[in-house]
Chains A and B, each alone.
Chain A
């Protein structure tokens, strides 16, 4: 025996202590926030040990604790699967969460309910860890729903604001639509494979129907905001910035992709599902990148950037590279969380101003934040040898050299260049130029609670990619040979994006303001997706419901069909038959006519 299981369980226990000690009223204490932060820091350290063990010996483990119930032939247990994916994800998630907790101690320090905030964040983290370490679909679903609920509570943190409530509801609804696919998959597996355990599922028939895989895809679309179920992610920016940093950049939204990664043994045999994932991811990444180009809220731009990167992860799944997608998840967590934290720092310093048209000239005023912002953007766009490079560039190379959909590849490249465009846009509007904010804000970034987390994540943004790539075990053969132009393509399009965006932005200083073109309107209104989908479809559904219940059922079936029609028929018939006026000639003619008809009938 070794320390693997003990340390993993210690990690989980440390994390749940602040919640479990609720009965001792620790959460009424003013120091609760730093207590939680400290627990997460310790949990991070204890979780490094199993990870190191894994890196050096490749040991994976399944901890099966509690036998919950047996339903005829289905056994439900509490079991943790600590394999490549969960072992590597847990420290990353804990590290990022630690930084975010420290940051939110600065950001939310004026909030009277700050203890509740930390409790919610902690609960979110625990459910996220349940999700990634689950060994059966049931436990995964518990974590899945748990992160959904916590997302609702956290997005609607400032519940006095109607927009926040609407956004929280929107998040829940879209996630629920995705859950339909999840439950479909669970039901299918229950019926046809008679199990919910991953080991059993992967051992049985590997050539599956489309149905369960499509169900998983729908679930991922809902949770990871792929195109079709994406509007909740930008709306979720109504929540406080730490929430956006934790949930909607690093952890929750990758849950959908994580689910697909977990099921990669079933997906690698089915070409159709890979094509679906590829096309869906390509559409998502391009669409959200286009939408990000004309947004004016800094958090929304970063949210769309997250959405675009999620699309990229889906594309990676589509070319059958789950390990690359996972690497991108881990790398992305670092720089995206940091981008959010920098935005939070800027927002708070400018007295809660979120519109980039009212920011500017912060390069000299907030040096640390702007440096980290620039580093984060460079990492995001895939600058060579920063974090993003190690996963993003590999992804672009793999897509370029795989014999797959050329259209999807083209779309992805365009989206990559657009990434550079909107990153440049942020930098230009927020940091450069003359200040456009109101005079006399208290721009202060001296608080160590703010600086330290960003500092940690900056180091992570620069080195984590290198660190991770050189320590993980290679699980499949990487693509080694390709033509030079393909190798340089990612960098080329990114540079193109940078240059183009810089040119355009500088031009806006000199030119007259034009009426927005229709392309601008398309991009600014998020492709009119929320406008067309949010109201008409539920309205149609409600109309249909009302019509079915009252008109169809009550009025027609119960009232008109039998009673009214019966009475009407009888009355009409009786008046027709007894309507005689004594027209003898007519009667006799009818006699002749009937006689003739009878003749014809029997002849």
Chain B
């Protein structure tokens, strides 16, 4: 795509999300979401393949439905409560709170509205997929964090639990890396939403760490354009550093101590237990093991074993890498080594 057009579209995407995040009037929030959705469609179809078009269509349909539901909720709320502020939604108004949750979770790609996430992620290129799984989550989560007091906790916990389950089991059957990361996103959304009604700062923390890790993963995969596990297995010869970093990042994504990815899971479980929700915490922790398993499978094929290869693979000509790797090193450090910084959490409100 030509650079000016790309710049405009990227700016529009940025504007849309920012608009949603800074406004307190419902209409403006919805406008921001719409701008965001409309301007990301050309990004999705950047690839000019039929698969990407199909992915873009699916994405558009889902997000449009979600925005429509959101609009319905906004108008209903305005009718019943006579005001347009985000923070004053009446929790006793069943239709409003429920439909709000449905709309927002549909935007985020949580179960039972998760069907579009793997397909859309698979249909687009790696960097676009990264955009999809990281930037697009910001707007709906910011809305949810503003109105978290009026959400029905039972429904949200149910959705979160189901998301964790689906994310764990769905990812087991995949060899395509984009789909693996899509299911991982579904599971992480589940973790984030589980703690929303108890302590939203932890949602923010989880989101932050998740964003860092997903950006790292996509960037590293993009370096050698690895789309499948099979291509990953040739990585040891091409760039051993990437192999190492993938190992560490995946382990952190799976929530293994002493890496940073353990921190959100730990604190979330602690908060759930404090609220007497031990069954939920146990089930989520056990399901996170499944996530860890399919990450381990990737690690297994990259660093722990050598797949059978013909002999001339070992004698590759090493070129300079041409793909951009924005902030890869600091992000890796941040997302794997900052567990000792966990006492910082006591400063959050």
Contacts and interface: CB of A to CB of B under 8 A. Distances in A.
Interface of A: 570-571, 573-578, 580, 582, 584, 587-588, 590-591, 594-595, 598-599, 601-603
Contacts, number: 66
A570 B169 contact: yes
B58 A578 contact: no
B9 interface: no
B291 to A, nearest CB: 12
6 interchain residue pairs of minimum CB distance: A574-B172, A594-B112, A587-B115, A578-B173, A574-B169, A577-B170
A587 B154 contact: no
B304 interface: no
B283 to A, nearest CB: 14
B174 to A, nearest CB: 6
A590 B118 contact: no
Given A580-B118, A599-B94, 14 more contacts: A574-B171, A575-B173, A577-B169, A578-B118, A578-B173, A587-B115, A588-B65, A591-B102, A591-B113, A594-B102, A594-B112, A594-B113, A598-B102, A601-B154
| A interface: dominant SS | helix
Interface residues of B, number: 31
Interface of B: 54, 57-58, 61, 65, 94, 98-99, 101-102, 106, 112-113, 115-116, 118-119, 152, 154-155, 158, 166, 169-174, 179, 183, 290
18 contacts: A570-B169, A574-B171, A574-B172, A577-B169, A578-B118, A578-B170, A578-B174, A580-B119, A582-B119, A591-B112, A591-B113, A594-B112, A594-B113, A598-B101, A599-B94, A601-B155, A602-B98, A603-B94
| B interface: dominant SS | helix
B73 to A, nearest CB: 12
Contacts of B172: 570-571, 574, 578
A598 B94 contact: no
A588 B179 CA distance: 20
Contacts of B152: 602
Contacts of B118: 578, 580
Contacts of B158: 601
Given A573-B169, A577-B169, A587 B155 contact: no
A580 B115 contact: yes
A584 B58 contact: yes
A65 to B, nearest CB: 69
A582 B54 contact: yes
A593 to B, nearest CB: 8
Nearest to B118: A580
A570 B290 contact: yes
Contacts of B101: 598
Contact of B98 (A571, A575, A598): A598
A594 B101 CA distance: 12
A574 B287 CA distance: 12
A599 B98 contact: yes
A602 B113 CA distance: 19
Given A574-B172, A578-B118, A591-B106, A584 B61 contact: yes
